[in-house]
Structure formats: C-alpha cells, structure tokens
C-alpha cells in the first residue's frame, strides 16, 4: 500500500504474462484532482499494465469551483438528491444508511463546503471533464454494450422506486440520477 498515489509503481502490482487485466476505479480519481502528479502517475502505471478495459465510476457533479457559492449551490442540489434517495430507499435505522450519511456524505459535505485550498482534497467533476482528461492520456471511451444497458434497465424495473431513478445514456457511458439530479457516472475506457 502507498500513502500517496504518486508513490505507486508498476512493480508493486503483479500479473502473469498471459493474464488479462481489468481496472475498476470506483470514486477514487476525484481524490487526486488536487494532486495532478498523483493522477498522472496512476494513469501511467495503469497504462503500463496494458489493461483490456478500465471501468470508471465517479460522482457526476461539479464541486471543483474555486468559488464557494458555486460549490455550495452545486453541493446543495447533489446532496439533497442523495439524502432524498436514502430516505426513499432505506429505513432510517439501517446501519448501512447511517454509515453512508455519517461518514461518506457527511465527510463529502465538510470537504466541499467547509474546506478551502489544499484542505479540500476531494473535487468532483462532470463526465465531460474526465473524458477530456482520459483522451489527453491516450485513452478512448468504449461504448457500453446494448445488453449491459438492457440488464441495468431490467434491474432498475425490479426496484420499488424505479420511477425516481434515471439512467441517462451519455453517448458511450451512463449517468445514474435520482429524480433528475445526476449522482454517478459510469464509463469504460481502453488505451490506444
């Protein structure tokens, strides 16, 4: 393990010569936006591993503005939708809900609106910002298969609050939203 992703090196990860590699990045890249050298290093190490696919899930919100009022407004809409989703989908005494609210969402709010400069370590950006970044590093977006989108819609239809959840096709990826507010994006990539 490394304390800073700038210290990550390819030899810390092992793979067999004929092994196929898939990289799953769930909500981690946003923590490196304020540390561009760490982000560049992670992409460099991943590239050297020659993955067949890189799956990226990130928060779909713009919480990276240097202006407090912009971050506050964006955060208000985003976190209101997230809390509304939890209220509709999980019992109040659910331990997982308490963890999500207390640790993940609470820390996110403190970071987005209660911290400035270097103290603001997580900076959410929209899918188009990630697309531009990945393209700059020689990655191409891979379209999600029709069957994977059908599967996502089938699962959604079994959900008792399906009408409140949105799956928005963004060309090659999807954005998952709650009552019209984007929450997460999912995209797949490969290196050229």
Q: By C-alpha distance, which of 99, 114, 85, 113 is closest to 182?
A: 85
d(C-alpha 75, C-alpha 14), whole Å: 39
SS3 of 23, please? Answer: strand
pLDDT of residue 12: 80
186: confidence class by pLDDT, cuts 50, 70, 90: very high
Under the banding of pLDDT at 50, 70 and 90, the label for residue 9 is: confident
Q: pLDDT-based confidence at 2, cuts 50/70/90?
A: low
Segment of 9-13, 27-31, 74-78, 157-161 carrying the highest mean pLDDT: 74-78
Task: Judge contact between 76 and 38, C-beta under 8 A.
Answer: no
Would strands 53-59 and 181-191 be described as parallel, antiparallel, or unpaired?
Answer: antiparallel
pLDDT band, residue 1 (cuts 50/70/90) = low
Average of per-residue pLDDT values in the chain: 91
pLDDT higher than 90, residue 56:
yes
Q: What is the pLDDT of residue 8?
A: 79
Task: Give the burial class of 134: count Cβ atoms within 10 A of its Cβ; 0-12 exposed, 13-18 middle, 19 or more buried.
Answer: buried
Among the listed residues 111, 91, 189, the one whose alpha carbon sits nearest the alpha carbon of residue 143: 189
Beta strands in 31-164 (DSSP E): 53-59, 139-142
Residue found under tokens 């370590």: 121
pLDDT at 15 exceeding the cut of 90:
no
Q: What is the pTM of this model?
A: 0.89
pLDDT digits (tens, 9 = 90+) for 62-117: 999 989 999 999 999 999 999 999 999 999 999 999 999 998 899 989 888 888 88
**Mean local confidence (pLDDT), 23-45:** 91
Q: Where are the domains of the chain?
A: 22-191
- CA-wise closest residue to 183 among 102, 142, 134, 126: 126
Q: Report the candidate in 62, 57, 54 with the shortest Cα–Cα distance to residue 141.
A: 54
Question: 5 falls in which pLDDT band (50, 70, 90)?
Answer: confident
Alpha carbon separation from 168 to 4, 6, 10, 79, 191 (Å, rounded): 34, 34, 35, 19, 25
pLDDT above 90: percentage of residues in the chain: 68
Q: Say whether pLDDT at 185 is over 80.
A: yes
Tokens of residue 164, six digits: 């409140």
């Amino acid at each position: 393990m490394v304390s800073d992703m700038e210290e990550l090196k390819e030899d810390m990860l092992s793979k067999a010569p004929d092994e196929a590699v898939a990289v799953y990045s769930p909500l981690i890249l946003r923590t490196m936006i304020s540390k561009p050298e760490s982000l560049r290093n992670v992409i460099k190490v991943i590239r050297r591993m020659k993955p067949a696919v890189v799956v990226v899930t990130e928060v779909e919100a713009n919480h990276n503005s240097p202006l407090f009022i912009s971050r506050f407004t964006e955060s208000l809409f985003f976190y209101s939708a997230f809390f509304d989703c939890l209220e509709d989908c999980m019992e109040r005494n659910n331990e997982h809900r308490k963890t999500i609210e207390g640790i993940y969402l609470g820390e996110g709010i403190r970071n987005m609106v209660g911290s400035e400069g270097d103290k603001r370590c997580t900076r959410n950006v929209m899918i188009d910002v990630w697309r531009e970044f990945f393209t700059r590093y020689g990655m191409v977006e891979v379209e999600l298969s029709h069957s994977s989108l059908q599967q996502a819609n089938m699962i959604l239809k079994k959900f008792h609050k399906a009408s409140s959840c949105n799956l928005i096709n963004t060309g090659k990826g999807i954005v998952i939203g709650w009552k019209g507010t984007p929450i997460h994006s999912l995209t797949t990539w490969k290196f050229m």
